[in-house]
Amino acid sequence: MSVDSGSGPGGASLPRLPARPRDGHKGVFGTVAVVGGCAGGGVRMVGAPALAATGALRAGCGLVRIVAPAPVLGEALVTCPSATGVELPVESGSLEVIPHMASEVLDGVIEQCDALVVGPGMGPGRGTLAVALRGVQQERVPVVVDADGLNVLAAEPEFTREMRGACVLTPHPGEFKRLCAGLGLKDALGLDASREGACERLAQRLGCVVALKGAGTVVSDGLRTWTCASGHPSMATAGTGDVLAGVIAGVAAQACESVDRSMMRALSPQMPRDPARPLDLYDAVRIAVQAHGRAGELWAARRGAAAGLMAMELAELVPLAMQELRD
């Protein structure tokens, strides 16, 4: 295991983001799709996918699509008007997402994006499970699984057989414990486990990148482990995790090599890395986590306050934090 701690306001131990080309356009900087929101079960959740979409845009990606249940899609787009929308079909009475139709919609969306977020505000249900499974099954783009996407997978431990793509899981401690319990990792985050060790074990078990959120967010791909030194207590509020999911996808969409090219490089190490997309997924997650934490620090410094941060305010400061990490 390689262990590192983030240091300094600019994250001195981190790789740098490439400079933005002056002649770039929105198609150059990647497209993120965010699948989330809930209209059924007597609960309406609209803000989470909109916050994740805003986080992706504030991280610098060129385009965002919000994929949400038809009854709440319009509200999500009002909250994030720069995004475009794709409807998830729902049952006429319950307004629950229809699983097989949601999977078909997601297949089409994946063909048109460079990174995917699944889970923010989706609630429990068969529709959420269907899109979460489809997200980790596909091999075309990196997928960030967050919030209810994690919860439904935790209840289906056989999902590990379905994981084939480049996945990032972003659990908070409660979600982390549910995942570990479902997978039989009973000692994770127990008395004999540090956050770093626990995060590494889950990443090894699943063969993916895990970002264990909290004060000192830990990122591990099972071989390398890093603890973020940035952040502020004001960030302990609703919606900041949704913003982080979007920031991770936004960084991956604009700065990570395509999955196909990464596989080719693994087979042919002499193939040079694309200078315009120099990051692997582990480094993309680290950069996103660092920028997210720095945005919280910037808010606290500007407001002179220890609490009261709103998630959308955090997203507004992500560009400044990202600039500290650019060449």
- The pLDDT tens digits of the residues spanning 41-92 come to 888 999 999 999 999 999 999 999 999 999 999 999 999 999 999 999 999 9
**Both tokens of residue 95?**
């307004």
What's residue 185's pLDDT?
85
Mean predicted confidence (pLDDT) in 284-301 = 98
Residues 6+ apart with CB under 8 A from 125: 40, 41, 96, 97, 152
Cα–Cα distance between 218 and 170 in angstroms, integer? 10
Residues 6+ apart with CB under 8 A from 268: none
Neighbours of 237 (CB within 10 A): 15
Sign of the dihedral through C-alpha 50, 56, 58, 64: negative
| CA distances in angstroms from 208 to 88, 120, 170, 181, 294, listed in the order given | 27, 19, 11, 18, 25
Residue 7: pLDDT band by 50, 70, 90 thresholds? very low
Cα–Cα distance between 244 and 290 in angstroms, integer? 10
| CA distances in angstroms from 31 to 8, 47, 187, 263, 301, listed in the order given | 30, 20, 38, 21, 32
Q: What is the pLDDT of residues 124-162, one digit of tens each?
A: 999 999 999 999 999 999 999 999 999 999 999 889 988
The residue ranges of every structural domain in the chain are 23-265+272-323
Q: What is the pLDDT of residues 218-249, one digit of tens each?
A: 999 999 999 999 999 999 999 999 999 999 99
Fold of the domain built from segment(s) 23-265+272-323: UDP-N-acetylmuramoyl-L-alanine:D-glutamate ligase (3.40.1190)
Q: Is 209 helix (H, G, I), strand (E, B) or coil?
A: strand
Mean predicted confidence (pLDDT) in 179-197 = 77
Biggest alpha carbon–alpha carbon distance for the chain: 57
Neighbours of 91 (CB within 10 A): 12
What is the rounded average pLDDT for all residues in the chain? 91
